[in-house]
Amino acid sequence: MTKPAGATYSVGGGADDRATLAGVGSLLHLTAVVDALRMPVRAALASVVGRFFRHGARTRAVDPAAVRSIVVIKPCCLGDLLLATPALAALRAAYPHASIALAVSTWARPAVENNPHIDAIVDCENFTGPYWRRWSACRRLSETLRAGAYDLAVVLDRSLFAALAAQRAGIPLRVGIDSGGRGFSLTTRVPWNQVRHETDLYLDVVQAAGAPVGVVAQPLYHPAPVHRTFAARVFEEWALQDRGPVVVIHPGGGSNPGMTLAAKRWPATRYAALADRLVDSIGAQVVIVGHAEDAPVARQLHMAMQHAALDLVGQTSFGQLAAVIKRSDLYIGNDAGATHLAAAVGTPVIAIFGPTNPAVYGPRAAAGVALFHADACPMRERRALGAVRVCPGCQCVKGVTVDEVRAAAVRVLQAQVPVRRARSQHDTLRGADAAGG
């Protein structure tokens, strides 16, 4: 099996599962003791314990011929699941006759509900919160997975508990990310020891699970027909297709189960100034989108704008939002799930970054542009891999100016709008011919 460029992984562990589980209780007790401590302390403990359990572990390579049923464990979150879609596609291509299930949380489920590469969805809780809550979620998931009798578990989550759930379920082959030693219960471990785009990291894991990986892949999401009908109705009712370029703005984000990072958000007043300038200079039609929780920041944007905008905040499902973005000419937003969704449906993206690293979470080059300031947290300092941390009173995202975003938007629109409009017209005519023939 050929390793992907820039990635290494190790195998081992499976033969001594009972011995490993015997020591897990001690690890979990220590985890509980230090659960309230800062992340570096917990990471150091996990690394030490992980090295202890990995010592002397025997190799357990993946034999594709022995794999008939697979479970992919990725509980959260919306954007992460979208970034994992190329990995799901590669896994399906490598195992066309195997049954592939995806263990995912209710929160993130909309990102993969109509994914063509999975056969079933397994309900899975997020491994967040206090120790006792994560351990309870681990036990419940292990019971569910045991009933599924899977041959292979592909763990695309950095949680110690996600990997343990697969081991407790008795799944013989367990391939996943080893983050700071937390993957000690895996039989094949892909170390997370370098800055690497999330999509590429997930592809590293499925390659270690026997799935060949080819060219650089883009995340994909296909809105259902009913969602495309909804978007068509919105565009028709507001005559969006008959005038200037349609620009979708998502001013919110930064909120997921277990984490809220408001420092990701570019100021609403800047989005308002940007929207007004795009209306004045190129006749843009602005559509504001977001989750219901984004309503306060969307309201700030509206109050600061001089021009009118179509407000769809809190009024669309995930699939409807995808269809609206897909019909639009440009998407502008923060590092958020909706930004990954825009890239996944093929709409040009301008993503504004601050405390998070665009080299890890940004749109791929073919999908759009990531804007960030050279003095932003991840660019200014070498940070240890782990949970996203921000500088005190982080204002990094504000280093990106309105003029920079407007200039990028105009460049992208000038290059993309004629092509997208021509393609849309061609598809419409082809559909009409098919209906008439």
Q: Please report, for the chain, the start and end positions of each structural domain, with discontinuous segments joined by +.
A: 10-208, 225-436
Structure tokens, 317: 């499902």
Percent of the chain with pLDDT over 90: 60
pLDDT at 272: 98
Tell me the pLDDT tens digit for each residue of 126-139: 887 788 888 999 99
pLDDT for 253 equals: 84
CATH topology of domain 10-208: Rossmann fold (3.40.50)
Q: Residue 14: which pLDDT band, with cuts at 50, 70 and 90?
A: very low
Is it the case that residue 88 has pLDDT exceeding 60? yes
At 293-318, the pLDDT tens digits run 999 999 999 999 999 999 999 999 99
Contact present, 204 and 222 (Cβ < 8 Å): no
Q: Fold identical between 10-208 and 225-436?
A: yes
Residue 257: predicted pLDDT: 62
Which residues touch 86 (CB under 8 Å, ≥6 apart)? 199, 202, 203, 217, 218, 219, 220
Distances (CA, A) of 67 to 11, 98, 204, 210: 17, 7, 19, 10
Residue whose C-alpha is closest to residue 347's, from 284, 293, 417? 417
Q: What is the pLDDT of residues 316-345, one digit of tens each?
A: 999 999 999 999 999 999 999 999 999 999
Domain 225-436 annotated CATH 3.40.50.2000: yes
How much is the pTM? 0.84
- Within 10 angstroms of residue 214's Cβ, the number of other Cβ atoms is 9
Measured CA to CA, the distance from residue 17 to residue 388 in angstroms comes to 32
| Residue 380's pLDDT band (cuts 50, 70, 90) | low
